[in-house]
Amino acid sequence: MAVQRQGEKGWAETAGPVFIGSEIYRRSSYGGAHPLRVPRVSTVIDLARALGWLGPGRYRTSPRAKPAALTLWHSPDYIAALQAAEAAGAVSAAVRDRHGLGTVSNPVFPQMFRRPATSAGGVMLAAELLRHGGVAYVPGGGTHHGLPDRANGFCYLNDPVLGMLALRRLGVGRIAYVDIDAHHCDGVEQAFAGDAETLLISVHEERRWPFTGALEEDGGGNCFNLPVPRGFNDSEMRAALEGLILPRVSAFRPDAVVLQCGADAVEEDPLSRLALSNNAHRAVVAALRDLAPRFLVLGGGGYNPWSVGRCWAGVWATLAGEELPEWLPAEAETVLRGLGWHRRRAPEEAWFTTLADPPREGPVRPEIRQRLAALAAR
Ligand SMILES: [Zn+2]
Helix or strand (DSSP H, E) at 152: none
pLDDT at 15: 66
Query: Percent of the chain scored above 70 by pLDDT?
Result: 96
Give the residue among 72, 201, 60, 222 at the shortest CA–CA distance from 130. 60
Rounded to whole angstroms, the Cα distance separating 78 from 230 reads: 36
> How confident is the model over 127-140, as pLDDT tens digits?
999 999 999 999 99
Distance 209 CA to ligand 1 centre (A): 9
Q: Other C-beta atoms within 10 Å of 5: how many?
A: 15
Distance 264 CA to ligand 1 centre (A): 6
5, pLDDT greater than 50: no
91, pLDDT greater than 70: yes
pTM of the complete model beyond 0.85: yes
64, pLDDT greater than 90: yes
Distance 162 CA to ligand 1 centre (A): 18
The reply to whether 34 belongs to the active site is: no
* Residue of 74, 99, 144, 145 with catalytic role: 145
Q: Please give the span between the terminal C-alpha atoms of the chain, in angstroms, as a whole number.
A: 23
- Domain of 338: which CATH number? 3.40.800.20
Rounded to whole angstroms, the Cα distance separating 248 from 199 reads: 8
Arithmetic mean of pLDDT, 111-127: 98
267, 304 in Cβ contact below 8 A? no
Distance 47 CA to ligand 1 centre (A): 22
- The secondary structure of residue 363, as a DSSP letter, is -
Domain span including residue 71:
2-376
Rounded to whole angstroms, the Cα distance separating 299 from 143 reads: 8
> How confident is the model over 12-62, as pLDDT tens digits?
445 679 999 999 999 899 987 899 999 999 999 999 999 999 998 999 999
Distance 146 CA to ligand 1 centre (A): 12
Rounded to whole angstroms, the Cα distance separating 101 from 82 reads: 8
Q: Other C-beta atoms within 10 Å of 28: how many?
A: 18
pLDDT at 1: 33
Distance 188 CA to ligand 1 centre (A): 13
Number of domains in the chain: 1
Distance 262 CA to ligand 1 centre (A): 6
> How confident is the model over 233-269, as pLDDT tens digits?
999 999 999 999 999 999 999 999 999 999 999 999 9
- Min mean pLDDT across 26-30, 45-49, 212-216, 342-346 is at 342-346
Distance 159 CA to ligand 1 centre (A): 14
Helix or strand (DSSP H, E) at 235: helix 234-240
pLDDT bin (cut points 50, 70, 90) of residue 7 is: very low
pLDDT at 341: 87
